Amino acid sequence: MQTILEPSAVQRLCESFRSGGKTIGFVPTMGFLHEGHLSLMRTARAENAVLVVSIFVNPTQFGRGEDFDSYPRDLQGDLIQIERAGGDLVFAPPAEVMYPEGFRSFVEVTELTDVLCGASRPGHFRGVATVVTKLLNLIRPHRAYFGQKDYQQSVVIRRLVADLNFDLKVVVLPTIREPDGLAMSSRNARLTPEQRRAALVLYRSLRHSEERVREGERNAKAICDEMRGMIEAEPLARIDYVALCDPETLKPIDWMEGSTLAALAVRFGSTRLIDNILISLP
């Protein structure tokens, strides 16, 4: 397995893979890997001749006062896990290489980024769209793999890939959860034991919304109110948003018809967690 820091070097090597007729599967990450990341890598490994993984904590998707400096990092541990998952190439550039002095170009996807996480984290998805565009341009994968936990991100990236005519397939795989239901996230490591127990209310509230739909409830506001009530009953939780929305446009809905995205973002201390499920009508 090779580890490369320079964009030009990774670009040349990936071009040699393509010209040699090898398919490239790409998993972009911010490191501090967990089973959610590794499940993406194993699928990419099985479906492609070459597995490329990036490790880059992207400063442009963090706003003022957010956790860029304290975001967990463990490059050496990550490299061991990637090699075990069958990685062929790791791209781990420093920030100053990805955003050199004089950098002025950014990519924006409109409308899809104004709601949910985009409403409370202005500029976040501009940073995501920019770094993903750079990575796809450098690596030129045949398939790129993302997790459903970052559902809004996956919708934004699918739109980006379609609009900018990238020649690749975006693959979105199910959220990987801990045995007690908490969605796996690098930020979970920052929770205190009390916050970790409190965070279980996220998945409980999502499952509650699914159960209410099975019971026949279709009023989106009524279901959201019940979810909010469950979360607000947990003293350590501070709600950012709770929403039922269209899974394609991400716009909030009033009445449930067809597939619906139930999504939420909640803070426990300084740690912000997101989660979601897709609900299909019975």
In the structure encoding, which two tokens stand for residue 182, read together?
């908490």
CATH code reported for the domain at 2-173: 3.40.50.620
Distance between CA atoms of 164 and 132, rounded to whole angstroms?
12
Active-site annotation holds for 37: yes
**What pTM did the predictor assign?**
0.96
Q: How confident is the model at residue 217 (pLDDT cuts 50, 70, 90)?
A: very high
Q: How confident is the model at residue 68 (pLDDT cuts 50, 70, 90)?
A: very high
The CATH number of domain 186-275 is 3.30.1300.10: yes
Q: How confident is the model at residue 223 (pLDDT cuts 50, 70, 90)?
A: very high
Distance between CA atoms of 54 and 13, rounded to whole angstroms?
14
The residue from 34, 37, 124, 142 that is catalytic is: 37
pLDDT digits (tens, 9 = 90+) for 7-59: 999 999 999 999 999 999 999 999 999 999 999 999 999 999 999 999 999 99
Is residue 116 a contact partner of residue 245, using CB atoms and an 8 Å limit?
Answer: yes
The mean pLDDT of 183-202, rounded to a whole number, is: 97
List every span in the chain annotated with CATH 3.30.1300.10.
186-275
Encoded amino acid at 191, one letter = L
Instruction: Estimate the crossing angle of helix 7-19 against helix 124-139, to 10 degrees.
Output: 50
pLDDT at res. 106: 98
Supply the mean pLDDT for the chain.
Answer: 97
List every span in the chain annotated with CATH 3.40.50.620.
2-173
pLDDT digits (tens, 9 = 90+) for 124-166: 999 999 999 999 999 999 999 999 999 999 999 999 999 999 9
49 CB-contact burial (10 Å; exposed 0-12 / middle 13-18 / buried 19+): middle
| Spatial strand order in the sheet of 260-268 | 237-245, 260-268, 271-279
Q: Which of 143, 156, 126 is nearest to 59 (CA)?
A: 126
Evaluate if residue 282 carries a pLDDT over 90. no
pLDDT at res. 108: 97
pLDDT at res. 65: 87
Q: Which phi and psi angles does 105 have, rounded to 5°?
A: -105, 130
The mean pLDDT of 233-238, rounded to a whole number, is: 98
pLDDT at res. 63: 92
Q: Helical H runs in the chain?
A: 7-19, 35-47, 75-84, 95-98, 117-120, 124-139, 151-163, 193-198, 200-214, 220-232
